[in-house]
Amino acid sequence: MAYWLFKTEPAAFSIDDLMARPNQTEPWDGVRNYQARNFLRDEVAMDDEVLIYHSSCNEVGVAGIATIARAGYPDYSQFDPESAYFDPKSEPDNPRWYRVDVLFKEKFSQILTLKFIKKMPEIEQLPLVKKGHRLSVMPVCEKEWNALVSAARSPRD
């Protein structure tokens, strides 16, 4: 099993939206960065665990956990001219963009904020805290996963 952090803007799709979906499952679509795409296509696997991270909002940080319910497959929105994620250069027999399905697992009682995460001594390698890293999908090592989940489940001031 591997661990991941997926960023989302809660105004577009939040942990609460995932909780409200039928079967609490949703395709994670619209990723349009090649490195993030490669993770979704080649590395994210069934039953991997995912930190759902809210970005571009008032309270930026980790909101909860999901698991991968379906490994990478073509993101069909790339073929839909009505979609904001349409890509006219992508072809069905050679798709450019991929997605996975995520299944809600847990919502934290409060957001584990980026400000708090940056102060955690256990967090050293996570791309999220490194300058210039803006990927929407990133791996998380097991040590840092455990530290983040533990902190998120613990009361904070």
Give 69's pLDDT tier (boundaries 50, 70, 90): very high
DSSP 130: S
Question: What is residue 157's predicted lDDT score, i.e. its pLDDT?
Answer: 66
Residue 19 is assigned to a structural domain of this protein:
yes
pLDDT, average across residues 51-60: 95
On whether residue 22 sits in a domain, the answer given is yes
Helix (H) or strand (E) holding 38: helix 34-38
Supply the DSSP symbol for 87: -
Q: What is the structure's pLDDT at 125?
A: 86
Task: Give mean pLDDT, residues 8-18.
Answer: 97
Total number of domains in the chain: 1
Return the CATH number at 76.
Answer: 3.10.590.10
Q: Of 74, 43, 59, whose CA–CA distance to 156 is shortest?
A: 59
For 62, the domain range is 3-145
Q: Considering the domain boundaries, does residue 37 fall inside one? A: yes
Are 129 and 117 in contact, with CB atoms under 8 Å apart?
yes
Asked whether residue 152 is assigned to any structural domain, the reply reads no
C-alpha count within 13 angstroms, C-beta hemisphere, residue 138: 17
pLDDT band, very low/low/confident/very high, at 60 (cuts 50, 70, 90): very high
Q: What is the pTM of this model?
A: 0.95
Is residue 87 within 8 A of residue 78, CB to CB? The reply is yes
